């Protein structure tokens, strides 16, 4: 069995974004709190007691406070069900939440060497003491079993895979794209009866990507934008989705239509995306194609 | 006139803290949401339109979303009333929120050279583009007028002063305490009719500190702990308040009793502090001595 909680569904900045007056952000502030969404992260567990976070968003403290499954167990003075964190890229919206996991707790931190290098280059992340939070390099194609802080098995098997994407925005000037900047994850229970694929940033559905998704019980897929030029036409930015490393929903939906996938859930949804609104034609089109646009806190059991 | 909003009242970790099962954290999760509190930060304005944040806590996105005065003005596609951020120390709970102020907005960032050095040493803070977010060194004893992003006057005069304190916890191994690691701020309107003192971390009430507080209309003072050994006796840690650079409430209350101060508000209140609970003897003792233990969102006008 695999249990999943969607801690946050939104892209960087969240909904509402602090400095944004677009239609969705305005609505989220005024009269439509159901549009509010924190930045993308999920929690996964094979035993419903020990959980692994996929990415640590800047909203992590708020997300943990709002998720009973992730509260300390009754009677413990200090404890957390968070057994580990697996990072899939080095963007601020994927890793800033690590700064909210200080306070002397032990957990495992897993990321590609390219992303661990970012942490190593920023001494502020030393608030996570190396003796309590070991940093473990993971590599594409090399499946691993994340362990609990005491070394026990987690019941999970995770296989990272390469994804067409890009390096973190704030590093663009200093470095160029390389394998490992963005990874996807195939997550299974150790008996391999369930398959979850996490792919919250993806620039293109290549045959290799399609093969990874085939047969999954659940897929979390990049839902940043509805249209590739959506930020530009809304006056919110100068970049296309492709430039930011994100395929649009309207391209992804047909590209994945023929695959055998149990549940399809968009994640990392930008505040500019009209499919955020339950009453929009875009949401209806996504739903009609079998896609879920989730709310924070949604729970899924496989 | 000075307007103030308390964005968060809690010390590092907030209430509840993600991995803490102490009495206050348990209550905050179960049945007493009024105990919930985000990490310490205030917003100050001389015109109720342009606001300066004193410290940027990891909870900043949640705080901005929850504070109507800090929402973008109606009709603007991108805007924020946040005109600047002034940092008083380099702890994670004082500066991690800077990572939530990305997205291309212009504002001024003011801190002592010792704290700017921390930002410079961590390239992740380059998400704040240098051309939009100039970093300005401030020094003890040197009053300055923070400006709006366009260069206009803010109506505020700020004077940093030296405080008995300590270097950020995560830097203790690499560096030793020096002037500037922790500063206090005297904040006035430019006509100098109102005086606010911000002193959310202070190890000792020296005569120089008392002189700074004398005559203030409003003081925010270090309220981390009620007793110096509170963390130890609760089994939550090995350090005294003194070791962490914080005088306890029960020592601060008599030390400041004879001063001419309009309103006394504790800030940076740790989850271990019994004065958090409205029904506690400690809260009654603080209130009897004229001290406010505030809730997030409290507004004060001077």
pLDDT for B167 equals 64
How far is it, in rounded angstroms, from Cα A176 to Cα A191?
A: 39
Instruction: Please tell me the distance from the alpha carbon of residue B189 to that of residue B146, in angstroms, as a whole number.
Output: 11
Phi, psi values for residue A183, rounded to 5° = -125, 155
10 Å CB burial of residue A96 (0-12, 13-18, 19+) is buried
Closest partner CB to B79 (pick from A19, A124, A169): A19
- B116-147 per-position pLDDT tens digit: 999 999 999 999 999 999 999 999 999 999 99
CATH number at residue B249: 3.60.15.10
C-alpha distance from A157 to closest chain B C-alpha (Å): 26
List the strands of the sheet with B108-112, edge to edge.
B135-138, B108-112, B82-86, B51-54, B41-45, B3-8, B299-301
The answer to whether position A123 is within a domain reads yes
Query: Measured between beta carbons, which residues in chain B are less than 8 angstroms from residue A170?
Result: 123-124, 126-127
Enter the ipTM. Answer: 0.96
User: What's the pLDDT at A69?
Assistant: 98
Q: Which residues 136-195 of B have a C-beta within 8 angstroms of A?
A: 169-171, 174
Q: Write out chain A residues lying below 8 Å of B132, CB-based.
A: none
| Confidence (pLDDT) at B104 | 85
Instruction: Identify the CA nearest to B179 among candidates B92, B113, B118.
Output: B113
Residue B211 forms part of a structural domain = yes
User: Is B20 a member of any domain?
Assistant: yes
Mean pLDDT of the B242-246 span = 87
Residues 240-259 of B with CB under 8 A from A: none
Chain B nearest C-alpha distance from A73 (Å): 8
Percent of chain B with pLDDT over 70: 96
What residue numbers bound the domain in which A248 lies? 3-297
**Rounded to an integer, what distance in angstroms lies between the CA atom of residue B85 and that of residue B67?**
16
Min Cα–Cα distance to chain B from A27, Å: 12
Tell me the C-alpha distance between B35 and B29, whole Å.
Answer: 9
Cβ-contact A62, A38 below 8 angstroms = yes
Is B61 a residue whose pLDDT tops 90? yes
Q: Which residues of B touch A171 (CB under 8 A)?
A: 123
Distance, CA of B228 to CA of B203 (rounded, Å): 11
Q: Is the pLDDT score of A264 beyond 70? A: yes
Cα separation of B134 and B186, whole Å?
22
pLDDT at B171 over 90: no
Average pLDDT, chain A: 95
- pLDDT surpasses 70 at A9: yes
Interface test with A, best of B19, B81, B230 (most A CBs within 10 A): B19
Q: At B176, is the pLDDT very low, low, confident or very high (cuts 50, 70, 90)?
A: low
Taking residue B25's Cβ as centre, other Cβ atoms within 10 Å add up to: 28
CB contact under 8 A, A77 and B22: yes
Residue A170 has pLDDT above 80, yes or no: no
**Which of B119, B67, B68 lies closest to B98 in space, CA to CA?**
B119
Start-to-end CA distance of chain B, whole Å, equals 6
Q: Token pair for residue B101?
A: 């102020």
Q: Which of A243, A54, A264 lies closest to A160, judged by CA?
A: A54
CA distance A80 to chain B (A): 5
pLDDT band at B280 (very low <50, low <70, confident <90, very high): very high
Give B37→chain A minimum CA distance, Å.
Answer: 11
CA distance A302 to chain B (A): 27
pLDDT category of residue B290 using cuts at 50, 70 and 90: very high
Q: Which residues of B252-271 are buried (b: 16+ CB within 10 A; e: fewer)?
A: bbebbeebebebbbbbbbbb
How would you class B78 by CB atoms within 10 Å of its CB: exposed for 0-12, middle for 13-18, buried for 19 or more?
Answer: middle
B170 has pLDDT over 80: no
C-alpha separations of B178 from A150, A285, B168, B169, B197 in Å: 39, 60, 11, 13, 22
CB contact under 8 A, A62 and B62: yes
Residue of chain A whose Cα is closest to the Cα of B94: A99
Contact B218, B302 (CB under 8 A): yes
Find which of B57, B65, B103 to mutate to test the A interface (most A CBs within 10 Å of its CB): B65
Our count of domains for chain B comes to 1
Tens digits of per-residue pLDDT, A45-54? 999 999 999 9
User: What is the value of pTM for the model shown?
Assistant: 0.96
With 90 as the cut, is the pLDDT of residue B174 above it?
no
**Residues pairing with A15 in the sheet:** A37
- Is residue A225 within 8 A of residue A248, CB to CB? The reply is yes
**Partners of residue A78 in chain B, C-beta under 8 Å:** 19-21, 236
Chain B from 37 to 76: CB within 8 A of any A CB: 58-62, 64-65, 70-76
Q: What is the pLDDT averaged over residues A69-96?
A: 96
Say what percent of chain A tops pLDDT 90.
87
User: Cα separation of B126 and B110, whole Å?
Assistant: 15
Distance CA B66, CA B44 (A): 16
Please tell me the predicted confidence (pLDDT) of residue B173.
64
Does residue B122 sit within a domain?
yes
How far is CA A39 from each of CA A62, A157, A231, B100, rounded to the nearest angstrom? 10, 25, 18, 11
Say whether B57 sits in a helix, a strand or coil: coil
Distance between CA atoms of residues B229 and A16, nearest Å: 41
B92/A62 CB distance under 8 A: no
Q: Which residues, listed in sequence order, are joined to residue A65 by a DSSP beta bridge?
A: none
Question: Percent of chain A, pLDDT > 70?
Answer: 96
Cβ separation of A127 and B169 shorter than 8 Å?
yes
Give A-chain residues touching B18 at CB under 8 angstroms.
60-61, 64-65, 70, 80, 82, 100-101, 103, 105
pLDDT, tens only, A278-298: 999 999 999 999 999 999 999
Q: C-alpha distances in angstroms, A80 versus A19, A132, A184, A241? A: 33, 13, 26, 37
Find how far residue A181's CA is from the centre of its chain: 14
State the sign of the Cα–Cα–Cα–Cα dihedral B144, B150, B153, B157: negative
Q: In chain B, which residues have their Cβ closer than 8 Å to the Cβ of A59?
A: 61-62
A252-A253-A258-A263 Cα dihedral, nearest 10 degrees? 110
For A33, nearest residue in chain B (alpha carbons): B65
Instruction: Sort out which chain B residues have CB atoms less than 8 A from A122's CB and list them.
Output: 122-124
- State mean pLDDT over A187-212: 95
Give chain B's mean pLDDT.
95
Rounded mean pLDDT, B72-95 = 96
Q: Tell me, letter by letter, the H, E, C secondary structure of B244-280.
A: HCCCCHHHHHHHCCCCCCCEEEEECECCCCHHHCCCC
What does the pLDDT look like over B189-234, one tens digit per residue? Answer: 999 999 999 999 999 999 999 999 999 999 999 999 999 999 898 8
Of the given ranges (A255-264, B213-222, B242-251), which has the lowest mean pLDDT?
A: B242-251
Cβ–Cβ under 8 Å, residues B206 and B256: no
Average pLDDT over residues B33-43: 97
How far away is chain B from the Cα of A159, in angstroms, using its nearest Cα?
28
Instruction: Give the count of Cβ contacts less than 8 A between chain A and B.
Output: 152
Question: Does pLDDT of B236 surpass 90?
Answer: no
Edge to edge, the sheet with strand A263-267 lists: A156-162, A183-189, A195-199, A218-222, A263-267, A291-292
- Residue B206, burial from CB neighbour count under 10 angstroms (0-12, 13-18, 19+): middle
In a domain, B205, yes or no: yes
Q: Which of residues 89-108 of B touch A (CB under 8 A)?
A: 92, 96, 99-105
Angle B15-B16-B19 (CA atoms, 0-180°, nearest 5)? 130
Q: Does A168 score more than 70 pLDDT?
A: no
Give me the pLDDT at residue B168, please: 67
Averaged pLDDT for residues B229-248: 88
Query: What tokens were used for A108?
Result: 């495992």
Minimal CA–CA distance to B84: which of B40, B46, B39, B117? Answer: B46
Residues ≥6 apart with Cβ < 8 Å to A128: A98, A101, A102, A109
């Amino acid at each position: 069995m695999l249990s999943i909680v969607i801690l946050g569904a939104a892209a960087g900045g969240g909904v509402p974004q602090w400095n944004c007056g677009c239609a969705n952000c305005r609505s989220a502030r005024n009269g439509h709190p159901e549009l509010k969404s924190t930045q993308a992260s999920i929690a996964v567990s094979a035993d419903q007691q020990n959980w692994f976070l996929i990415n640590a968003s800047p909203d992590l403290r708020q997300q943990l406070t709002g998720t009973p499954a992730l509260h300390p167990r009754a009677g413990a003075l200090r404890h957390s069900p968070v057994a580990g964190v697996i990072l899939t890229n080095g963007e601020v919206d994927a890793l800033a939440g690590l700064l909210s996991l200080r306070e002397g707790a032990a957990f495992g931190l897993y990321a590609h060497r390219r992303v661990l290098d970012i942490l190593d280059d920023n001494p502020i992340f030393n608030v996570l003491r190396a003796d309590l939070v070991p940093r473990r390099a993971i590599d594409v194609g090399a499946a691993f079993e994340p362990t609990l802080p005491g070394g026990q098995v987690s019941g999970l098997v995770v296989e990272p895979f390469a994804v067409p994407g890009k390096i973190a925005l704030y590093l663009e000037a200093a470095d160029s794209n390389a394998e490992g900047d963005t990874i996807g994850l195939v997550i299974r229970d150790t008996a391999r009866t369930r398959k979850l694929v996490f792919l919250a940033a993806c620039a293109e559905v290549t045959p290799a990507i399609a093969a990874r998704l085939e047969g999954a019980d659940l897929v979390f897929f990049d839902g940043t934008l509805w249209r590739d030029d959506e930020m530009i036409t809304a006056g919110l930015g100068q970049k296309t989705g492709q430039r930011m490393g994100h395929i649009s929903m309207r391209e992804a939906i047909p590209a994945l239509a023929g695959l055998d996938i149990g549940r399809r859930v968009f994640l990392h949804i930008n505040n500019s995306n009209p499919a955020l609104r339950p009453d929009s034609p875009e949401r209806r089109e996504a739903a009609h194609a079998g896609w879920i646009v989730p709310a924070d806190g949604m729970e899924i059991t496989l």
